Structure 1
Amino acid sequence: MNFSLRFQLSFMMFLEYFIKGAWFVTLGTYLTSNLKATGLETANIFSTHSLGAVVAPFFVGLIADKYFRAERLLGILHLSGAFLLFLMYQANNAHEFYPYILAYFIVYMSSLAISNAISFRHLPMPREQFPAIRVWGTIGWIIAGVAISYIFHWDKSEAIASGALKNTFLLGCCSSLLLGIFSFTLPSTPPIKTEKNKGWSSLIGLDALQLLKQKDFLIFFVSAILICIPLAFYYQNANPFLTAIGLPNPTAKMALGQFSEAICLLFIPFFFSRLGYKKTILIGISAWIIRYLLFAYGNADDLSFMLLTAILLHGVCYDFLFVVGQIYTDTIAGERFKSSAQGLVTIAMYGVGMLIGFWVAGFIAEYLKAQQVINFWKQLWISPAIIAALVFVLFLFFFKDQRNK
């Protein structure tokens, strides 16, 4: 791979994830502090992330893959995203904010698939070379968090009180504008001909539903949906929680989660080869339980190490469950359902699971506030810990790992 191609793809990935990291991490704090959103309004806004994940396969598979050059479409999507981020910056309340973020996530989730497709099309050896390209996305997310905390100081309590978090959308807007322009310089990636009978049902994995007849895959499928409920709690509440209890530079510290995610990817082959699917996934589920208990009982003073440990567990939580789950799905599906099964699991987790999760998290937050519960944050974090524990029991007793045997 020549240097020019490596730079182009790496910079594309860097900006792709820098854009989201510039504003999404602090979104929960922004909604409550700037827009005075209620728990259910916050849940409604966060749910657009899941709705975008559901719509994106239709857009990419039925339209983008067939009629447009990928690099040009990526540019158009990010130029549109820059405009939508600017509208989000100007919104004055949650009701006005909602349609802009819904449209944005349809655009952004589509751009994720397209940026990956561009990389795979042009890498000579994608399986070996893609991780080195994709890691720049993680670096971009981390640098966005560090910039917010240590360069702009937008997540300081006094800055939040003055409305400075609003500027995160301008940062995302400018970086989206830059990637939109840069995308037109990427290597030409024309559409490729696909199977004529490949319709929308195949794209979202409906033809892989018959795999659910296998008991192990059914248990994994249900567990994957249910574990996304605790995951939604993290996205929706982690930054507001860390900000509320006074942890210094919370956005930069949350970026440690992406750092651990990159490191844990290296350990998956080690654990997977020795433990198999079941034990590795159980480690991932148990990490969610431990993480939320650490959040529940930690504080920003003498027990701040518990909060940092909870953040650093993100790699184990995500990689040992979702990445290994993707490998398991690939193994079960076989050649016939390889793509459609991944589509089915992706929509089930990031669409159905997280959509339910955002609403559950919003409902519980509203209930605890209405009841004026003492130790609000402690009670809030115990809820997803209990849900994760129930998923752990379900997976432990009913998943038999027959394929691994």
Structure 2
Amino acid sequence: MSVKGRLIAMNFLQFFVWGAWLISLGGYMGGSLHFEGGQIGAIFATMGIASLLMPGFVGIIADKWINAERLLGICHLLGSACLFYASTVTSYDQMYWAMLVNLLVYMPTLSLTNTVSYNALENNKFDIVKDFPPIRVWGTVGFICAMWAVDLTGFKHTCAQLYVSAGAALLLGLYSFTLPQCPPAKSESKTLLSSFGLDALVLFKRKKMAIFFLFSMLLGAALQITNSYGDLFLSSFKDIPEYANSFGVKHSVILLSISQMSETLFILAIPFFLRRFGIKQVMLISMTAWVFRFGLFGLGNPGSGLPLLILSMIVYGMAFDFFNISGSLFVEMETTPQIRASAQGLFFMMTNGLGAIMGGYASGAIVDLFSKYATVAGQTQVVSRDWQSIWLIFAAYALVIGILFAMVFKYKNGSKMVKE
């Protein structure tokens, strides 16, 4: 197989592992395992904890001691074991620790796959800017394929989804040891602070950057909410005869996969929007899209309201990609080469680390606030849940963030780099 083909297989499996459980696990935990909303939110918050701690730490190891492709394999083999264990447990405490350890070893692999890809392409004289995106897009394809596989097999509300993910992680773990070698760059003098993005903390002395990173954290709290509760929400309609046999209930994960399809389309639209509106306006468009993402969930249903749900899936691509990519570009434009990599790491930590932790626990508290529970045969079960109020509160949160961002974040000539 060609180098490109091998990297495509790696990216496909990398995101297949994630897609097999990320969207459907909330429905399994809330339905089959009867976890409360706060418990589900706490388990998804482990993604933020892992994002905060592990990418920098594992990056140091890959930079100094172990080939990146071997470290990638080790991480996935450990993750496979954690996922297999998670598939056997039914208590909240056991699931929490299983998923926490799994994510501690999974989240660093997102950057390790990029490192392996860049190194292999460079060594084989490929143009990274031109040749990597068509390879990376197969990761999104793998994510979508995993979602469809879990849905069509009926695994979405059972522990079998974790078996699928664990099997893919085991395969990728073994396959990683066959990838092109990516040895440590021993000549690179990378400090501990730099690896964790902490030497970029000096940016907080600048008001504009401090405001930007604060809003990055606040918006980061919204990024995984629909991943945590989207399937649980759609599956709740099965108890209503009018919707029980609808496509949105029977194939809720496939419906949710439209969000990932939308991502691939809006990524291609970003250059146009940046040239036309500039970075600040694109970030505001993202925040507005989050309002619609949540609001349409609150107003939609799998029956006559299905078009509203589909529209919510479509705007997700704009909501998710526009902030992440335009925000990354803003950081690139506003920092010096000496701390550029660290600044990107800080942006990741604020959104996917602190923001995700805050969002996981806060969203769980909101879900529990609008839920009624009862103990049946010693097991906590949901009696009722006001999903419309839950989603509209999330929409109001995104709206407030957008309004405040427009008022306090002062930035002109946001499209300068793109135009040049």
Give the TM-score taking structure 2 as reference length.
Answer: 0.90
What displacement does 1:252 show? Answer: 1.2
**1:22, 1:293 → 2: CA distance?**
26
What displacement does 1:200 show? Answer: 2.4
Contact 1:79 / 1:176 at 8 angstroms: preserved in 2? yes
**2:231, 2:216 → 1: CA distance?**
24
Establish whether residue 193 from structure 1 lines up as the match of residue 186 from structure 2: yes
**What one-letter code is carried by the residue in structure 1 that aligns with 2:305?**
L
Which of 392, 399, 404 aligns to 2:409? It is 399
Establish whether residue 273 from structure 1 lines up as the match of residue 283 from structure 2: no
Which of 132, 139, 146 aligns to 1:137? It is 139
Which of 197, 202, 209 aligns to 1:217? It is 209
Residue 238 of structure 1: aligned partner: 230
Any gaps of 5 or more consecutive residues in structure 1?
A: none
2:224 match: secondary structure: helix
2:223 match: secondary structure: helix
Contact 2:57 / 2:195 at 8 angstroms: preserved in 1? no
Establish whether residue 167 from structure 1 lines up as the match of residue 160 from structure 2: yes
Which of 317, 327, 330 aligns to 1:328? It is 330
**2:69, 2:195 → 1: CA distance?**
21
Residue 229 of structure 1: aligned partner: 221
Contact 2:264 / 2:317 at 8 angstroms: preserved in 1? yes
What displacement does 1:202 show? Answer: 1.6
**What one-letter code is carried by the residue in structure 1 that aligns with 2:134?**
A
Residue 60 of structure 1: aligned partner: 58
Residue 305 of structure 2: aligned partner: 303
**What one-letter code is carried by the residue in structure 1 that aligns with 2:306?**
S
What displacement does 1:374 show? Answer: 7.8
**What one-letter code is carried by the residue in structure 2 that aligns with 1:380?**
I
Where do 1:258-297 residues align within 5 Å?
A: 258-297=260-299
1:245 match: secondary structure: helix
Residue 117 of structure 2: aligned partner: 119
1:335 match: secondary structure: coil
1:184-213 deviation line (CA, Å, top 9, x unaligned): 1111111112543x3322222222122223
**1:73, 1:301 → 2: CA distance?**
47
**What one-letter code is carried by the residue in structure 2 that aligns with 1:97?**
M
Establish whether residue 101 from structure 1 lines up as the match of residue 99 from structure 2: yes
What displacement does 1:115 show? Answer: 0.7
Residue 154 of structure 1: aligned partner: 155
What displacement does 1:79 show? Answer: 1.3
**1:38, 1:303 → 2: CA distance?**
27
Contact 1:29 / 1:239 at 8 angstroms: preserved in 2? yes
What displacement does 1:229 show? Answer: 2.0
What displacement does 1:92 show? Answer: 2.1
Which of 332, 351, 354 aligns to 2:356? It is 354
Which of 86, 91, 113 aligns to 1:88? It is 86
**1:301, 1:402 → 2: CA distance?**
45
**1:347, 1:362 → 2: CA distance?**
21
Which of 178, 181, 184 aligns to 2:177? It is 184
Contact 1:148 / 1:252 at 8 angstroms: preserved in 2? no
1:270-296 deviation line (CA, Å, top 9, x unaligned): 110111111111111100001111011
What displacement does 1:219 show? Answer: 2.1
**1:94, 1:194 → 2: CA distance?**
45
Give the TM-score taking structure 1 as reference length.
Answer: 0.93
What displacement does 1:237 show? Answer: 1.0
What displacement does 1:232 show? Answer: 3.2
What displacement does 1:370 show? Answer: 4.6
Contact 1:60 / 1:110 at 8 angstroms: preserved in 2? yes
Which of 394, 399, 414 aligns to 1:389? It is 399
What displacement does 1:33 show? Answer: 1.8
**2:204, 2:88 → 1: CA distance?**
46
Contact 1:229 / 1:384 at 8 angstroms: preserved in 2? no
Contact 1:228 / 1:353 at 8 angstroms: preserved in 2? yes
1:334 match: secondary structure: coil
**2:413, 2:345 → 1: CA distance?**
21
1:298-347 deviation line (CA, Å, top 9, x unaligned): 11111111011101111100111111100111110121221010011100
Is the deviation greater in 339-348 or in 246-255?
Answer: 246-255
What displacement does 1:166 show? Answer: 0.8
**2:221, 2:52 → 1: CA distance?**
16
What displacement does 1:361 show? Answer: 0.6
What displacement does 1:214 show? Answer: 2.7
2:335 match: secondary structure: helix
Is the deviation greater in 242-251 or in 139-148?
Answer: 242-251
1:74-109 deviation line (CA, Å, top 9, x unaligned): 111111111111000111211111111111001101
What displacement does 1:373 show? Answer: 11
Any gaps of 5 or more consecutive residues in structure 2?
A: 239-247, 374-381
Contact 1:232 / 1:361 at 8 angstroms: preserved in 2? no
1:336 match: secondary structure: coil
Which of 196, 201, 223 aligns to 1:204? It is 196
**What one-letter code is carried by the residue in structure 2 that aligns with 1:253?**
L
What displacement does 1:249 show? Answer: 0.5
1:153 match: secondary structure: coil
Contact 1:22 / 1:172 at 8 angstroms: preserved in 2? yes
What displacement does 1:403 show? Answer: 5.4
1:190 match: secondary structure: coil
1:255 match: secondary structure: helix
